Structure 1
Amino acid sequence: MDAALNESAREAVDVDLAGLADIYSSSGEADLVRRIEDRLAVRPADGGAPHYLLMRTDGVRLAGDLEAWPDLDAAISERGMIAIGHRSSAHARSTRLAPNTWLLVAHEVDPASTLKAGVRTVFLVGGAILVLVVAMLGKLSADRLKRRIARINRTLSHPDELASMPELPRRARDEIDELAANSAQVILRVRNLLEAHSDTTDRLAHEIRTPLTHLDARLVKALETQPDEQVTKRLTEARSEIRRLVSMLESLLDIAWSKARLSDRSALTPVDMSALVTNLCELYADSAEDAGLALQWEVQPGVVLDGDEAQLGRLLANLLDNALKYVPAGGTIRVALSDGPVLVVADDGPGIAEADRTRIFERFQRGPDVKAGEERPGAGLGLALASAIAQRHSMILECLPSATGALFQLRRERP
């Protein structure tokens, strides 16, 4: 025990001496004198009182509570025991701060420190045992809490399995039971809202598309009567408007459907994106050639994504349709798929202004014809639907800066 206390005192002297030497080298002699006086003004609670002596080699005393320099060689930073008064001794060490300046640091070892150290050891051992017991009880409680929270997480992650979950306690025992009950109620409410939304949109689609389809059939019958050229032209334009309205309605419903299922991944299945992109590019190659465009694609094999294959195909088709609409004859459309997955659709057309790169993903936003200054035909829903499908798959569709033309990139959201 005494050996440990003596070693602790020697270490305290070394640390104290090094700190004062650093103060001298960085702030100078005046600051060192102030620091020594500050340390002498505070007596440590453990009884190991410090003592200092800062003096010149010519015997001029600068600071400290020691009156005379002991038999310690400052040139070699000698250490040793020195007498403090008539009854005490201290571990001391000297050093030379400058050619004409010496510093001595000493720390007493309190005779009562052995008893204090013993008491301290008892408390430390007892505290360690107490901490161990508390830790074991805490781990048991944490494991139980973890199991209960895992049950809530399973319910939130797989809402379709809520009906098969064990019945929740009717009366909450604590906050966790209350959280579990509230979570179950929220899931049931959201499910009911989604079912009501789905039913409403299905009814809306049916109620609007059915009369439009009937109207289109009547126009077909009217055209079969072979009216004059002017009437035929008007009827044909009316049919085009009907098809445009039906297409716009379907796009709006698809956008609403995708946004309503942002957090629902239960219906997603592995999709071979490499095969999907290759097949669509091959399908669009003829259309691009007819429009006087070159369609090039580079697809990394084996890229798989959990998703809805029909929706992902719609996303890429909308991007390709957009490129075919705006790239002038003689231009090139490039499609690239790499692991990540990262899908890029780029072209060398008129491009998109920086101020419009976010706006184009809003509904009913259409880009102007750069050459004619007129808007292209369309409802402005293609990119809005593509963005909604991307969000449905926890991905981001964005328009990035490009030296020429437009560049669209589909990638996973960063965590």
Structure 2
Amino acid sequence: MTLEARRSIFSRLVLAAIGLSLALVLVLWFVTHQTVVTTLNEGAAKEVDVDIAGLVDIYATSGLDELRDRIADRVALTPAEGRTPHYLLANDAGERLAGDLTRWPALDPMVSEAGAIAIGEKSRGFARAVQLGPDLRLLVARRTDASAAVLRNIAIAFAIGGGMFVLLVALLGRLAALDLQRRIGRINLAFREPGKAVELIGVRGRDEIDELAGHSARALERQRGLMEAYKETSEQLAHEMRTPLSHLDNRLLKALQAEPAPRVAERLVEARAEIKRLVQTLESLLDIASSKSRRGDKAGLLPVDLSAMVTSLCELYSGSAEETGHSLTWEIAPGVMIDGEERQLSRLVTNLLDNALKYVPPGGKIEVSVGPGPVLVVSDDGPGISPADRKKIFDRFYRGQGHSHDAHGSGLGLALARAIAERHGLQLTLEDCVSGSSFRLEG
């Protein structure tokens, strides 16, 4: 059984039904077995008691010789039905006077004791002993081991019938479970791929599951409508903010083209840089919101060669690293694929590389590795991240107290990287390091 099957509630229900059915069959067999055994024993006891009553009457009316003759006749007669009878007529010393049994069992004739005895070497029987006179005792027995065949046949019948019953329960349970699993699977698919939710809206409510499917579909449709409205509002807001900022930047550019005084020109350049930073911050916030809103949504994801993409980025950044005095090395396993948006994944990696180049002093080492999983690791030997910053490093607008040689930045790089990772169903974490820092992205 696969791990998924073991974890499925429907598989567990089928197994529980099979176990319950098997337990029920075993209980019924046990009750039937005990009932048959009790009935057979009671029947043997009645036969013995009736036989004893007749022999006692013969002894009382006709004497010892007649009793011995009657016992001999009964021993010689093999009954067509019922249990084979056995007898022992003996004196008080246990010496046989008549019958086919040779040894007196541990039964007290003075109290008409009854119980199970051995008959021969392999057979068992039910017997009762009675005292006929001062020096005469009688034992009458009926074999009960013949009932073992009856019990064996009952056990076989229960094994065959019970097995068919358990198989029928398993089959019907599995068919019912598959139907439930299929219906629940449609609901889960709608949550994994919201575009499928519309297929559930037309489902007629046969039971609670169909009702749940309808409610889920309508909730997903409302959520999608809200997210589209949110996206539209965000894009409109971004457009309304970009437009005046763009106009302001153009005016500042025209002012610079007029060749103002050096001090004024310096301030105009700083203002244009602030405008650019505001636009970048706005775009990063919109990207973070978009990635978080699409977390777990696989729509639009296509196979991406992560190995080729990271290799290309490392080659692109190697020139910048050389100019800033950093050592950038990479070890990329070939053919590592992932379903995703290549542009977003590329931005995630560049944010990690930018973060390393920003905080690692010149002369430091930056290492990048990609392996199956996929697993991407970007590590460095820089000043590292203080324990106080570790829990907040992925928060928006949070900038640690590290030794950054770049005073600029909005504190959104790592927040955006994590949002992109979550949108692709990946985890971006900061690993514990003795020195430097190491960011690990894995599925």
With normalisation by structure 2, the TM-score equals 0.64
Change in 2 beyond 3 A, CA 1:389/1:84: farther
Change in 2 beyond 3 A, CA 1:119/1:361: same
Equivalent residues in 2 for 1:116-265, closer than 5 Å: 126-163=161-198, 165=199, 168-169=202-203, 171-265=204-298
1:386 and 2:409 aligned: no
The whole-number CA distance in structure 1 between the counterparts of 2:382 and 2:164 is 75
Shift of 1:198: 1.0
Question: Which residue is 1:399 aligned to?
Answer: 430
Q: Which amino acid aligns with 1:340?
A: G
Shift of 1:116: 6.5
With normalisation by structure 1, the TM-score equals 0.68
Shift of 1:314: 0.5
Q: Which amino acid aligns with 1:275?
A: A
Q: Which amino acid aligns with 1:316?
A: V
Q: Deviations over 1:173-208 (max 9, x none)?
A: 211211221121122112112211210111111111
Change in 2 beyond 3 A, CA 1:152/1:368: closer
Q: Deviations over 1:247-286 (max 9, x none)?
A: 1111111110000000211111111111111111111111
Shift of 1:358: 2.6
The whole-number CA distance in structure 2 between the counterparts of 1:218 and 1:396 is 44
Please point out which of 310, 321, 325 is paired with 2:358: 325
The whole-number CA distance in structure 1 between the counterparts of 2:322 and 2:231 is 40
Asked if structure 2 preserves the Cα contact closer than 8 Å seen for 1:368 and 1:376, the reply is: no
Q: Which amino acid aligns with 2:314?
A: C
The whole-number CA distance in structure 2 between the counterparts of 1:296 and 1:136 is 59
The whole-number CA distance in structure 1 between the counterparts of 2:200 and 2:223 is 20
Change in 2 beyond 3 A, CA 1:172/1:116: same
Q: Deviations over 1:302-346 (max 9, x none)?
A: 111111100111011111111111111111211111121111111
Equivalent residues in 2 for 1:35-114, closer than 5 Å: 85=107, 87-89=115-117
Q: Deviations over 1:26-52 (max 9, x none)?
A: xxxxxxxxxxxxxxxxxx9988xxxxx
Q: Which amino acid aligns with 2:176?
A: S
The whole-number CA distance in structure 1 between the counterparts of 2:183 and 2:404 is 64
Shift of 1:159: 2.6
Question: Which residue is 1:67 aligned to?
Answer: none
The whole-number CA distance in structure 2 between the counterparts of 1:118 and 1:132 is 21
Identical columns (%)? 51
SS class of match (2:328) = strand
Q: Which amino acid aligns with 2:305?
A: D
Equivalent residues in 2 for 1:293-304, closer than 5 Å: 293-304=326-337
Change in 2 beyond 3 A, CA 1:139/1:405: closer
Asked if structure 2 preserves the Cα contact closer than 8 Å seen for 1:318 and 1:386, the reply is: yes
Q: Which amino acid aligns with 2:291?
A: S
Please point out which of 351, 354, 372 is paired with 1:339: 372
Number of residues of Structure 1 aligned to a counterpart in Structure 2: 318
The whole-number CA distance in structure 2 between the counterparts of 1:362 and 1:410 is 17
1:376 and 2:376 aligned: no
Q: Which amino acid aligns with 1:308?
A: E
The whole-number CA distance in structure 2 between the counterparts of 1:136 and 1:285 is 63
Please point out which of 383, 388, 392 is paired with 1:350: 383
Asked if structure 1 preserves the Cα contact closer than 8 Å seen for 2:201 and 2:214, the reply is: no
1:311 and 2:344 aligned: yes
The whole-number CA distance in structure 2 between the counterparts of 1:194 and 1:149 is 25
Shift of 1:359: 1.2
The whole-number CA distance in structure 1 between the counterparts of 2:106 and 2:244 is 109
Q: Which amino acid aligns with 2:249?
A: D
The whole-number CA distance in structure 2 between the counterparts of 1:111 and 1:200 is 90
Change in 2 beyond 3 A, CA 1:110/1:270: same
Q: Which amino acid aligns with 1:380?
A: G
Shift of 1:147: 3.5
The whole-number CA distance in structure 2 between the counterparts of 1:167 and 1:403 is 55
Which blocks of at least 5 consecutive residues in structure 2 are unaligned? 1-33, 39-103, 108-113, 119-143
Asked if structure 2 preserves the Cα contact closer than 8 Å seen for 1:255 and 1:384, the reply is: yes
Bigger Cα displacement from structure 2, 228-237 vs 251-260: 228-237
Q: Which amino acid aligns with 1:156?
A: F
Asked if structure 2 preserves the Cα contact closer than 8 Å seen for 1:334 and 1:347, the reply is: yes
SS class of match (1:297) = strand
Change in 2 beyond 3 A, CA 1:183/1:291: same
Asked if structure 1 preserves the Cα contact closer than 8 Å seen for 2:192 and 2:296, the reply is: no
SS class of match (2:393) = helix
SS class of match (1:337) = strand
The whole-number CA distance in structure 1 between the counterparts of 2:235 and 2:342 is 21
The whole-number CA distance in structure 1 between the counterparts of 2:167 and 2:329 is 67
Change in 2 beyond 3 A, CA 1:120/1:339: closer
Q: Which amino acid aligns with 1:322?
A: N
